[in-house]
Amino acid sequence: MTPLSRAKVVSSFTVVKGALIDETYMAFKGWDLNRSKRENLDRFRAENPIGAKSVTWLRDVAKVLNRRFDPAARDRPLVQLAKNGCTLDEWKPLLLWHMTRDEFLVRDFLQNWLFPAYDKAAGRIRSEDVVPYLAGVDDRGAVTEHSWSEATTRRVSAGLLKIATDFGLLRGVTTKEFTTFHLPERSFIYLLHALREETTNPGRIIDSADWRMFLMRPSDVEAEILRLHQFQKVDYQVAGSIIQLSLPCASPVGYAERMVA
């Protein structure tokens, strides 16, 4: 199976292992971009930079890193930011965006279950509330690696809510509720650059479903762009149906370099 084909594969393993924010940050801080992913993961397992207390956990983290990321290409800016000391508060939202490029279930859950719940001002959320959503994942074009037992389904439900909590979208332990989430300014501008690589149409950038992962409606996105325009950090012009959006750099890589300059 090619890496491209795995973009639609639903894996219970990675969801249950969790967001691994600190572990990924530490792994990428020590990543050698002149070496292959296999060489870096071999060194990661040998040197244990995350201080894993068991060989099993260290191996599992390496498996998740291998599954989620393409450090030599698509995820190179994420690695460079970690290596050059980007603050964790700014880096975490970018980690979420990058990991969901190849983590279908997390992306789909955040966009199509959690955000609608937020948009409807849902109150408390429990893992059992997520179970009906999981039953329909295959109907949205995904492929589940294998059938899940009832216990696995419960673990995946809890895992999805835990990931959302780790990224600051929810709070609570057994029962969750929404936080007042704020996307840091430079993280927001980075995501504008990243989305522009997918489409140069400013309207489509503003309407992108990816903003739902950060609990942002199109009106929220446009309001933030207008604020940034006011402070001359981006240039946003609207004339009738014509929209123009000019960003500070030509690419996410260029903006990532600016963030840690």
Q: Which of 31, 19, 17, 125 is nearest to 71 (CA)?
A: 31
The H-assigned helical ranges of the chain are 12-17, 21-29, 37-47, 55-68, 76-83, 88-99, 104-109, 115-119, 131-135, 150-166, 185-196, 202-207, 218-230, 252-259
Query: Among 37-41, 93-97, 141-145, 241-245, which is the least confidently predicted range?
Result: 141-145
Crossing angle of the two packed helices 185-196 and 218-230, in degrees rounded to 10:
110
**What's the rounded mean pLDDT across residues 65-73?**
95
**What's the rounded mean pLDDT across residues 25-35?**
97
Which amino acid, 54?
Answer: S
Q: Which of 229, 231, 206, 235 is nearest to 218 (CA)?
A: 206
Query: Among 32-36, 80-84, 241-245, which is the least confidently predicted range?
Result: 241-245
Q: Tokens 């290596």, residue?
A: 83
pLDDT > 60? residue 4: no
**What's the rounded mean pLDDT across residues 199-211?**
96
* % of the chain residues with pLDDT over 90: 87
pLDDT of residue 6: 64
Which amino acid, 22?
Answer: D
pLDDT > 50? residue 3: no
Give the total residue count for the chain.
261
Q: Model confidence over 6-23: pLDDT tens digits?
A: 667 888 999 999 999 999
Measured CA to CA, the distance from residue 29 to residue 86 in angstroms comes to 10
Measured CA to CA, the distance from residue 249 to residue 189 in angstroms comes to 10
Residues 36-41: contacts with CB under 8 Å, at least 24 apart: 36/72, 37/66, 37/70, 37/71, 37/72, 40/71, 41/65, 41/66
Q: Model confidence over 40-54: pLDDT tens digits?
A: 999 999 999 999 999
**pLDDT band at residue 2 under the 50/70/90 scheme:** very low
Q: Are strands 143-144 and 9-10 parallel, antiparallel or unpaired?
A: parallel
- What are residue 98's DSSP bridge partners? none
* % of the chain residues with pLDDT over 70: 97
Q: CA distances (Å), 15 to each of 60, 61, 153, 156, 162, in order?
A: 12, 12, 11, 6, 9
**pLDDT band at residue 1 under the 50/70/90 scheme:** very low
Q: Model confidence over 125-161: pLDDT tens digits?
A: 999 999 999 988 878 777 787 789 999 999 999 999 9
* pTM tops 0.85, yes or no: yes
Residue 52, CB-side half-sphere exposure with 13 Å CA sphere: 20
Measured CA to CA, the distance from residue 58 to residue 21 in angstroms comes to 14
Contacts of 116 (CB under 8 A, 6+ apart): none
pLDDT of residue 21: 98
Q: Model confidence over 154-194: pLDDT tens digits?
A: 999 999 999 999 999 999 999 999 999 999 999 999 999 99
**What's the rounded mean pLDDT across residues 103-111?**
95
Residue 216 parent element (H or E): none
* Mean per-residue pLDDT over the chain, rounded: 93
